[in-house]
Amino acid sequence: MWINKKKNEFGTISLVQILENGIAVGIVRDSYGIPAKANYYWKPHTDHIAAFCGGNNYVWYKGQGTLGNDLFEENKIVRFEFDSFKGTLILFIDNVQQPVYFSGIKEKVRFIV
């Protein structure tokens, strides 16, 4: 199987999934295969998945939940900024940068919902 790029243009992809209470959005190590019914805060998945949680405003990684960000609420605009050079993933809610974010990201990642 081959993937060929036909045009050299910028593009934006929008997720059509409606994010509601109880939804988490984050990243997973590209090298980690997520098994069916995996939960981002259960071992061993929590060692490979970092998530911002909408329903309880926790930020999860390596079994630790950290509070400090606003909730994802209805009609809020949620945006993520991934900087592969700095190794950071920052959450913005309604264009306001949230104080709890991920840093030290040194490998390829995939976004998850």
Q: What is the pLDDT of residue 3?
A: 47
Distance CA 70, CA 7 (A): 39
Beta bridge partner(s), residue 78: 93
Q: What does the DSSP assignment read for 7-73?
A: ----------PPP-TT-EEEEEETTPPPPTT--TTSTTGGGTEEEEETTT--EEETTEEE--SPP--
Domain assignment present for residue 3? The answer is no
Lowest mean pLDDT, pick from 3-12, 30-39, 69-78, 88-97: 3-12
pLDDT, tens digit, 9 for 90 and up, residues 67-79: 999 988 778 888 8
Domain assignment present for residue 18? The answer is no
Name the domain count of the chain. 1
Domain assignment present for residue 50? The answer is yes
Domain assignment present for residue 8? The answer is no
Q: What is the mean pLDDT of residues 22-43?
A: 84
pLDDT-derived band at 66 (thresholds 50, 70, 90) equals very high
Does the pLDDT at position 5 exceed 90? no
Q: Residue 108 is part of which domain span?
A: 24-112
